[in-house]
Chains A and B, each alone.
Chain A
Amino acid sequence: MAAHTAAMSMSKILHPFLGGRLGNTAKVFGRTLSSHKNKTGNSPPPAKYGGRHTVTLIPGDGIGPELLNHVKEVFRFCCVPVDFEVVHVNSAVETEDDINNAITAIRRNGVALKGNIETKHTMLSFVRWLTFVPSFVPLCLLMSVGLLFISDTTTHLYANVMHCQSLPGVQTRHKNIDIMIIRENTEGEYSNLEHENVSGVVESLKIITRTNSLRIAEYAFQLAREKGRKRVTAVHKANIMKLGDGLFLQCCREVASDYPDLTFDSMIVDNTTMQLVSKPQQFDVMVMPNLYGNVVSNVCAGLVGGPGLVPGANYGRDYAVFETATRNTGKSIAGKNIANPTAMLLASCMMLDHLKLYDYASMIRNAILSTMNETRLHTADLGGQGTTSEVVQSIMRVIQSKGSLTSEL
């Protein structure tokens, strides 16, 4: 399947090249070259058709569709220059055609906003697909000029970033939390390499590589510097997994030496969880391999008020996918208008920041935060009685009251 698609893509590239339409190829080739120059500052895909961006929208399962409809509503209301290309992924069907379509759409647009997709135990989870499927454009281009480009790890969505912040209007046991969690998204325990050599004995491989560890550490320190953070903590279990997590820790230390303005320390994962539930204010930026990232991000999401409040982003060199931080589908509350739209709306703001539409992003974000803090219109997960639509209406009212040009409410 991979070879077939490769051949097809290659022919598509070669034909215009041979046909003399160099302009198109040069634009694609040019983009690849410039992306190589950027390390973490990914240049967003060029806006097409009159300054409007096209973003892939994957509604997903459970509460995904209704929340993303609200996002569309808010964007339309604020006249955000973003068009959505909706791709449905039906997790009930066993084939992988839907996922391939979605991935093609993401590759085409470069940016996606997605709801959570249920992972059946038999099918590979969607994000795993995203992190593994390579981009064939640079591959085939370079093949056409005679180079065989083997490694395609540069196109994986290798960093999962989550920003957990205490929102003043929300009642939680801990206050003043402000933690950025950067989780390696491609390897570690989620390598999916398992085998049963003897019946009843299963081996699962956890892979840690120097390349990926250096990459995620570089990303973490770069992001910390960009956001004006002071301290980066690496979370690991190197006292037990001496080689694996030892390598990860060593890579973090190497990268830390290039950033003398940032403090670097490390903490063992079980101590980290203990500290998180007693003194979460001590953490600033945290970087860790895949599984610990899963645990720590869920703990932090719970600390600031639950899965309805925290947005998450997955960054690769060329692509970015935005979603809620914790990947729960919310099946039980789907269609009842009680889901909390905050996480998805904040994720869409992160996406607008990525597309460099900063003004729209801060406008929507401020409206969300003031709705959360001042008007106290909370949904059920925060202990209130508000409905999803009430919250969204309130956000739109706040935006309108700020005087910006909007469409009719």
Chain B
Amino acid sequence: MAGTAWRSAVSQVVGALKKESLQPRTFTRGIHTVTLIPGDGIGPEISTAVMKIFEVAKAPIQWEERNVTAIQGPGGKWMIPPDAKESMDRNKIGLKGPLKTPIAAGHPSMNLLLRKTFDLYANVRPCASIEGYQTPYTDVNLVTIRENTEGEYSGIEHVIVDGVVQSIKLITEQASQRIAEYAFEYAKNNQRASVTAVHKANIMRMSDGLFLRTCREAAEKHKDVKFNEMYLDTVCLNMVQDPSQFDVLVMPNLYGDILSDLCAGLIGGLGVTPSGNIGANGVAIFESVHGTAPDIAGKDMANPTALLLSAVMMLRHMGLHGHAQKIETACFDVIRDKKALTKDLGGNSKCSEFTDAICQRVRELV
């Protein structure tokens, strides 16, 4: 603990000396400040659960709650509230609950706004089988890294003539380089053995070809991590037969969307899957990817596992591996014990009971 404080003090000094144009992260006696966006629906209750567990685990995190609703700035452009933006720019790390996108609200989805505001270019989803939650697939341990800014989701579409629509898939060298670099760095930082690029360059020769080329170039620079490439259809075919053969997967936007949800399905669905979004300038927002579940909001029935595991991912990103391990082990132990599970996990307990069980386990592990 003292080491962390010393290191953070040194980095603060070094940061000041370097005169970075970015705001240095707020360190108050070794405590990291994190922007918390509770979200809508079940968001607030699962955020409370996570904060409670972190307190019991004595994680050095200070939460700064902000709300994110779309507001119209000067010039009619939709944006997130300036205090939320300022908080995130200052803290760099964020934890977000589910946000609802009202239909026909006139503004783009909040998730899209956040992505554009902070240039969140990489979506990382580690999928590992949870011991206590049985699915037909028991040996999943992979990470999907998805390019989040361009590709098929560029949003550029037009009607050429009546009855003919053209959607543009955009692949740029810069974005591909960025995601490939990140994939290899992630593999190195998390002791992963190999990175697989998923593509369809036999059909989309130029676009996926460019993506593949940049992945190969990045592989050259990181010779200690194994690299191979696989067609999307082969990956899908093998994934449902033997998911244990995959390690880190890097891919463009659409394939990433499909595969990351496929892998989430393998381990039990969006209610237990963590997710992180890495942006430029060191910003990282970790989130739960399930919906707001308005039908059970406020009834103490929600399952905080997804948000909790995302928060654990956040701790690992910040280097607080000890706390991350403790909280994760407690969570998995409680799920394995099956004594206090929420309804979606097959039990009858309330959210608060589940949270308390995890807190109890954390106390035992300290």
Q: A173-B137, A294-B233 are in contact. Are A204 and B240 (CB under 8 A)?
A: no
A301 to B234, CA, bound (A): 11
Tell which of A2-10, A81-89, A240-248, A341-349 binds the partner. A240-248
Tell which of B196-204, B215-223, B344-352 binds the partner. B196-204
Q: A273-B258, A273-B261, A276-B265 are in contact. Are A242 and B168 (CB under 8 A)?
A: no
Q: Are A273 and B169 in contact (CB under 8 A)?
A: no
Q: Are B204 and A302 in contact (CB under 8 A)?
A: no
Contacts of A206 in B (CB 8 A): 152, 166-169
Which of chain A's residues 173-211 have a Cβ closer than 8 Å to chain B? Answer: 173-174, 189-190, 192, 194-196, 199-211
B191 contacts A by Cβ under 8 Å: no
Contacts of B152 in A (CB 8 A): 189, 206, 240-241
Q: A194-B205, A295-B232 are in contact. Are A202 and B261 (CB under 8 A)?
A: no
Q: Are B165 and A204 in contact (CB under 8 A)?
A: no
Contacts of A276 in B (CB 8 A): 240, 262, 265
- Number of residues of chain A lying within 8 A (CB) of chain B: 58
Q: Are A302 and B240 in contact (CB under 8 A)?
A: yes
Q: Are B169 and A269 in contact (CB under 8 A)?
A: no
A274 contacts B by Cβ under 8 Å: yes
A240 to B204, CA, bound (A): 20
Q: A189-B204, A269-B258, A274-B261 are in contact. Are A201 and B233 (CB under 8 A)?
A: no
Contacts of B257 in A (CB 8 A): 237, 269-270
A328 contacts B by Cβ under 8 Å: yes
Q: Are A194 and B207 in contact (CB under 8 A)?
A: yes
Contacts of B283 in A (CB 8 A): none
A110 to B272, CA, bound (A): 51
A121 to B232, CA, bound (A): 15
Q: A119-B202, A209-B163, A271-B261 are in contact. Are A204 and B237 (CB under 8 A)?
A: no
A306 to B236, CA, bound (A): 11
A399 contacts B by Cβ under 8 Å: no
Contacts of A379 in B (CB 8 A): none
Contacts of B206 in A (CB 8 A): 194-196, 202, 204
Contacts of A271 in B (CB 8 A): 261
Instruction: Identify the interface centre among B172, B234, B240, B262: most chain A CB within 10 Å of its CB.
Output: B240
Number of A-B contacts (CB under 8 A): 167
Contacts of B135 in A (CB 8 A): 278
A314 nearest CB across to chain B (Å): 16
**Which residue from chain B places its CB closest to the CB of A301 in the assembled complex?**
B237
A309 to B136, CA, bound (A): 21
B131 contacts A by Cβ under 8 Å: no
A241 to B153, CA, bound (A): 7
Option from B157, B205, B262 in Cβ contact (under 8 Å) with A121: B205
B228 nearest CB across to chain A (Å): 14
B266 contacts A by Cβ under 8 Å: yes
Q: Are B236 and A243 in contact (CB under 8 A)?
A: no
A199 to B210, CA, bound (A): 11
Q: Are B237 and A302 in contact (CB under 8 A)?
A: yes
A369 contacts B by Cβ under 8 Å: no
Option from B158, B170, B260, B262 in Cβ contact (under 8 Å) with A202: B170
**Which residue from chain A places its CB closest to the CB of B233 in the assembled complex?**
A298
A194 to B207, CA, bound (A): 7
A299 contacts B by Cβ under 8 Å: yes
A275 contacts B by Cβ under 8 Å: yes
Q: Are A278 and B265 in contact (CB under 8 A)?
A: yes
Contacts of B238 in A (CB 8 A): 302
Contacts of B205 in A (CB 8 A): 121-122, 192, 194
Contacts of A242 in B (CB 8 A): 157
Q: Are A201 and B173 in contact (CB under 8 A)?
A: yes
Option from B136, B169, B172 in Cβ contact (under 8 Å) with A200: B172
Q: Are A192 and B203 in contact (CB under 8 A)?
A: yes
Contacts of A207 in B (CB 8 A): 164-166
Q: Are B236 and A298 in contact (CB under 8 A)?
A: yes
Instruction: Identify the interface centre among B170, B202, B239: most chain A CB within 10 Å of its CB.
Output: B202
Q: Are A194 and B137 in contact (CB under 8 A)?
A: no
A355 contacts B by Cβ under 8 Å: no
A307 to B164, CA, bound (A): 34
**Which residue from chain A places its CB closest to the CB of B207 in the assembled complex?**
A204
Which of chain B's residues 246-289 have a Cβ closer than 8 Å to chain A? Answer: 254, 257-262, 264-266, 269-270
**Which residue from chain A places its CB closest to the CB of B173 in the assembled complex?**
A200
A196 to B240, CA, bound (A): 35
Q: Which 9 A-B pairs have the closest CB atoms?
A: A210-B163, A274-B265, A200-B173, A302-B240, A173-B136, A270-B261, A194-B206, A204-B207, A244-B167
Interface residues of B (CB under 8 A from A): 135-137, 152-153, 155, 157-159, 162-174, 200-207, 209-210, 232-234, 236-241, 254, 257-262, 264-266, 269-270
19 A-B residue pairs with Cβ-Cβ distance under 8 Å, sorted by A, are A119-B203, A194-B204, A201-B172, A202-B170, A203-B169, A203-B207, A206-B166, A206-B169, A207-B165, A207-B166, A241-B153, A241-B167, A270-B260, A276-B265, A277-B136, A277-B137, A278-B269, A327-B233, A328-B234
Given contacts A189-B169, A203-B168, 17 further A-B contacts (CB under 8 A): A125-B203, A201-B172, A202-B170, A202-B210, A203-B170, A205-B166, A206-B152, A207-B166, A210-B162, A242-B157, A243-B159, A244-B157, A270-B260, A274-B262, A275-B265, A295-B232, A299-B237
